[in-house]
Amino acid sequence: SEFHMNVERIQAVGDDQVLALMKMSGVSEGGVPVAQPLSSVYYLAAGRLRRVHVYLNRAEALQAVGLAE
């Protein structure tokens, strides 16, 4: 199997959050192509990573950081 993560956008949101919009793609061991959008919100405190929340739904990630489309 082979998988790739392509970053489409990274955006700082305020002083303590970073939004990353990505797309995972690849081929399973059985030869089936797979593509899935992923979004992550990184939460920082004092310049250090404290928590990561991964979303399969991009709209939910945007809403979580107050950037709903």
Predicted TM-score of the model (pTM): 0.84
Q: What's residue 53's pLDDT?
A: 97
Mean pLDDT of 41-63: 96
Angle 3-6-8 from CA coordinates, rounded to 5°: 155
User: Average model confidence (pLDDT) for the chain?
Assistant: 94
Mean pLDDT of 23-30: 94
Q: What's residue 68's pLDDT?
A: 82
Q: What's residue 9's pLDDT?
A: 96
Pairing between β-strand 17-27 and β-strand 2-13 as defined by DSSP bridges? antiparallel
